[in-house]
Amino acid sequence: MSRQLKLHLPFRPALGRGDFYVSQTNALATVQIDGWRDWPGRKLVLTGPKGSGKTHLAHVWRAESGATLLQAHDLPGADIAQLSEGDVCVEDVPEIAGNPEAEAALFHLHNLTLAQGHSLLLTAIEPPAQWDLGLPDLASRVMGTHTARLSHPDDDLLSAVLAKMFADRQIVPAPDAIPYLVRHMPRSFDMAGKLVDAIDDAALGTPKGASRMLARSVLSELNPESDEDTP
C-alpha cells in the first residue's frame, strides 16, 4: 500500500476566549486581562515563556476591547496617530531593542494612546527590566507598567494545550498519547508545539495515526533525554 501524500496545509489556531484553558499557572494573568478596564495607568505588560498563551490572551483582549494588535517590529511603518485613537496591543516588544526608529514609535504610541484615554497592552517573554531598550524615556515608562506573568504549565494545562494544538490541526490522538507526552516531555509550551508539529507530519503516513507509539518515537527524536523506559 502506498503511503498517503503529505500536504503541508496551513492551519489557523483557535484563539477565542472559550479556547483558552485556565489553570493555576495562568489564572492570575487571565483575571488581570479580564479586568483591563481597571489597569493601573490603563496599561499592562504581559510576560511568559514562548508559547505560554500571550498571543492567545492578546487576541482575547482584542475581541473584548476592540483593540488593534500588531508586532513591535511593524511599528516604524505604522500610523501611530491612527493607532492611538483606540486600544492597542504591541507584541514581542524586546525585538525592537536597539532600533531607534521603532523605539521612538512605541514611545509616541504609548504617550498618545494613554493621553486619549485608551489602553495599551505590551507582551514579551521577559519582564521590562530585561528588554535592553535604548531610549531612556521609553524604558522608564515600561518599567513603571504593571506586569502580569504566565508561568510554565502544570499537568492539567499542558494536557489542555496539547489537546488544543492537536484539535487546531484536526488530529485526534490516541487516548493514551497525550498522557504519555505529559509524563515524559520537557515542561515547555515551545516543546509542545514542536511535538505536535512533528506528530502531525509523521501521523499522516501511518495507518494508526497519532498513536502513543508514534508520540514516543517523535519525543525520543526531539528530546533524546526523555525516559523511554517509563511506561
Residue 226 pLDDT: 64
Domains in the chain: how many in total? 2
CA distance 231 to 227: 9
Residue 103 pLDDT: 98
The neighbour count for residue 213, using CB atoms within 10 Å, is 14
Task: Confirm if 193 and 153 have CB atoms less than 8 A apart.
Answer: no
CA distance 205 to 132: 46
CA distance 150 to 110: 23
At 199-214, the pLDDT tens digits run 998 887 666 778 999 9
Report the greatest alpha carbon distance in the chain: 66
Q: What is the mean pLDDT of the chain?
A: 87
CA angle 14, 19, 22 (to 5 degrees): 140
CA distance 135 to 137: 6
DSSP code of 172? Answer: -
- For helices 27-34 and 54-65, angle between their N-to-C axes, nearest 10 degrees: 20
At 80-133, the pLDDT tens digits run 999 999 999 999 999 999 999 999 999 999 999 999 999 999 999 999 999 999
User: Which has the closest alpha carbon to 183: 141, 227, 150?
Assistant: 227
Residue 118 pLDDT: 98
Residue 193 pLDDT: 87
3-state secondary structure of 148: strand
Residue 207 pLDDT: 65
Per-residue pLDDT band for 65 (boundaries 50, 70, 90) equals very high
What lies within 8 Å, CB to CB, of 13 at 6+ separation is 56, 164, 165, 168
At 25-37, the pLDDT tens digits run 788 888 999 999 9
Task: Confirm if 10 and 168 have CB atoms less than 8 A apart.
Answer: no
Q: Does residue 87 sit in the same domain as residue 35?
A: yes
Residue 7 pLDDT: 36
Query: How large a percentage of the chain has pLDDT more than 90?
Result: 61
Per-residue pLDDT band for 2 (boundaries 50, 70, 90) equals very low
Provide the residue type at 119 as one letter: S
Residue 161 pLDDT: 86
Q: Does residue 175 sit in the same domain as residue 210?
A: yes
Q: Domain containing 185 — which CATH number?
A: 1.10.8
Residue 71 pLDDT: 97
pLDDT for 231 beyond 80: no
CA distance 95 to 70: 13
Q: Does residue 142 sit in the same domain as residue 163?
A: no
**Which residue, of 89, 123, 149, is where some domain finishes?**
149
Q: Does residue 39 sit in the same domain as residue 136?
A: yes
| More confidently predicted of 125 and 15 | 125
**Which residue, of 128, 149, 170, is where some domain finishes?**
149
Query: How many residues can be counted in the chain?
Result: 231
Q: Does residue 98 sit in the same domain as residue 137?
A: yes
Between β-strands 68-71 and 120-124, what pairing exists: parallel, antiparallel or unpaired? Answer: unpaired
